[in-house]
Every structure is written in C-alpha cells, then in structure tokens.
Amino acid sequence: MDSDRLCAEIRREFPPDDPEPQFEVADIVRLYGDAYRAEYHPSFEQGRALHAIRIRILS
C-alpha cells in the first residue's frame, strides 16, 4: 500500500471532525497509576514514562 492511499484510508477512518475523546491517557494514569505501580512494579524507565504522562510532559 502506498503512502497516499494509506493517508486517505486513515483520513476516511478518522475524520478530523470527530469529537474529542472523553479521556486521555494522562487521565487514566492519574486514576489508576498508583494501583498499577503497586501491582506490577514497573522498571525505572517505565516509572519515568508514567510520571511524564501523568504531568503531561509527553503531550
């Protein structure tokens, strides 16, 4: 599949007039991040990523 056809397909599937999502990843991390950390003990790098998402550095 060439890139023009792929871009057209993506635009068809996700038109720009879609409503804003109800939640963002940062919202989910804020709600469940502490429980996730307690259950799964993420690595240092994963913890840094979760922290960055939580405070929206990666937005």
Write out pLDDT tens, residues 16-28. 776 777 888 999 9
DSSP labels for the chain? --HHHHHHHHHHHS-TTPPPPS--HHHHHHHHHHHHHHHH---HHHHHHHHHHHTTTT-
pTM for this prediction: 0.60
**Domain ranges (residues) in the chain:** 19-59
pLDDT for res 22: 84
What percentage of the chain exceeds 70 in pLDDT?
Answer: 92
The neighbour count for residue 1, using CB atoms within 10 Å, is 6
